Amino acid sequence: MQKLTNKEEEIMHILWKLEKAFVKEVMAEITEEQPHYNTLSTIIRNLEEKGFVSHHAFGNTHQYFPVVSKEDYRKRFMNTAIDTYFNSSYKNMVSLFAKEEKISAEELREILAMIENENPKK
């Protein structure tokens, strides 16, 4: 699975939300710095070339839909980020969030309880 640019990710989030859409419907969802229609169409076609979306043709018009789920992309993105920025260590990632006060001790206890409940000791 290829890495997406920030703009491609933005468009994918719109397609995941809409499930299927024409370029003009995607355009309507972009709230900041709307690209030109042709630029957006090119981005979506690039997503298709990368294997993230496909389309149904209605004459000269195409309705696009995601073929990679948000969950699959999220897993791939997170695994790559953890490998790249945290030396493949989830512990390093969580400790960074704790040091920067992005996660509380209570949230960590909840995560630990979830892990212990999913993997009871034998």
What's the CA gap between 22 and 30, in Å, rounded? 13
What amino acid is encoded at 116 in this protein? E
62 or 121, which is more confident: 62
What's the CA gap between 91 and 100, in Å, rounded? 14
Inter-residue contact 11 to 40 (CB < 8 Å): yes
What's the CA gap between 3 and 83, in Å, rounded? 14
Q: What is the pLDDT of residue 116?
A: 87
Inter-residue contact 21 to 28 (CB < 8 Å): no
What's the CA gap between 16 and 95, in Å, rounded? 31
Of 24-28, 60-64, 99-103, the range with the lowest mean pLDDT is 99-103
């790559």: which residue's tokens?
Answer: 80
Calculate the average pLDDT of the chain. Answer: 90
Q: Is the pLDDT of residue 122 over 70?
A: no
Q: Is the pTM higher than 0.85?
A: no
The model's pLDDT over 75-101, given as tens digits with 9 standing for 90+, comes to: 888 888 889 888 888 888 888 888 888
